[in-house]
Structures are given as structure tokens and as C-alpha cells.
Chain A
Amino acid sequence: LAKTTQPISMDSYEGQEVNITCSHNNIATNDYITWYQQFPSQGPRFIIQGYKTKVTNEVASLFIPADRKSSTLSLPRVSLSDTAVYYCLVGAIPDTGRRALTFGSGTRLQVQP
């Protein structure tokens, strides 16, 4: 499985856009990039997934350059409730439903008023 590297922590203020970059130099052709969010005392929650270029949903955007060796999760206009740990994961799908996820240590985002 491809190893991922992401910042340990980030700070932001309410209303700002936050970009969290993840490096995955050894990503394989069949690998997708997935981001999960985890609040204290809760299990991780799926945010977004992509293979290349850009993916956008109601929560976030995911930017993936052509070489796919990195990806950037973009959270528009963060609020205090976005304070959480964000995990970048790389793995092959569509059989992810049959495969365990490999989490790193994640990025701890702290949003200040």
C-alpha cells in the first residue's frame, strides 16, 4: 500500500479556506485517494474520494495533479465545527469494500474564532 505523508497539524480561522496536502509518491495505477474526517470520540467519516484532476462535493474539493504523487483537500470557509483530524488514504477500489483502510497519523486541524 502506498505510504502517505501529511502535516501533523494546521491552524485556521473561521471563514478561511483550508488546504491540506498529502504526499503519496508511490501511488499505484489502480489506487484511489480518499479522505476521512474524525471528530473526538467518534469514528472516522468519509469526506471525498478521487482518482485524478478535481472532485467536488457539498463538503470539500479534492485536487489531484497529473502525476498523482500528491493531493490537496480543500475545505471552503471553515467553521469551528470543522476542527477535527483529517486522514489521507491511498488504496485500490472498487473492491475497497473488501479491503481494510490504512490510516496514517492524520492532520489535526484547529479552527479558531
Chain B
Amino acid sequence: GAGVSQSPRYKVAKRGQDVALRCDPISGHVSLFWYQQALGQGPEFLTYFQNEAQLDKSGLPSDRFFAERPEGSVSTLKIQRTQQEDSAVYLCASSYSGGGSEQFFGPGTRLTVL
């Protein structure tokens, strides 16, 4: 079956622009996570949804970052007024939280802010 997909795969933005990154999780997966991965580092947690509810947003670095999952499936991570330090790969992962222990990751969106 289809895995987690993300779009766009690459995004170049000028500093100050707003961007929106999309994640399509595996169908039926209740839990959805966003991670940020800087070059040469491991992924770092940003936010977590259970269905449409955002249960944890403690990893969002600033109020310029906003995530939503209005119907409990597709999720969008929005970054307002992008800055150069926002350049990173943004990973989305989903899991079936009915006792499963594995998160399935998408390929990520590489964001470059000029």
C-alpha cells in the first residue's frame, strides 16, 4: 500500500515568505507527527496530532510555525515569515496508535530559505 507522502519535496523561499508543507499519512493512521531535521543531525520533534486534535506542539520553535489536521487525515505545516534558520528537512510520520510501536516516515520536504 501507499506510504506517507509529502509535498513539495523541495521548496525554496525568500526570507519573509510564508510556506505550506503538506503531509498525506497512511490511511487509517490515527497519530501524525512533524519533525525538523537539520543537516547532519537527527530529526527533532515539532508537533503531534491524534486524529484532528493537536495534542503536543511543544517542539514548535516559534509562533511562526503552525500545524493543522482539520479532518484527521492530511496535515499542513505552515511557516510564516520564513527565516534562514528555518532551512531544514521537514519530516512527517504517522502511526496506528492502536498499540503499534512503529512510526512510518515520509521522504520529507527540504526547505531552503534564501
Contacts and interface: CB of A to CB of B under 8 A. Distances in A.
Given A41-B107, A43-B105, A43-B108, A100 B45 contact: yes
A1 to B, nearest CB: 10
B1 interface: no
Size bin of chain A's contact surface? 20 to 34
Interface residues of B, number: 33
Interface of B: 4, 30-31, 33, 35, 40-45, 48, 50, 55-56, 59, 91-93, 95-108
Q: Is the interface of A mostly helix, strand, loop or mixed?
A: loop
Nearest to A44: B105
A56 interface: no
B89 to A, nearest CB: 8
A63 interface: no
Nearest to B47: A100
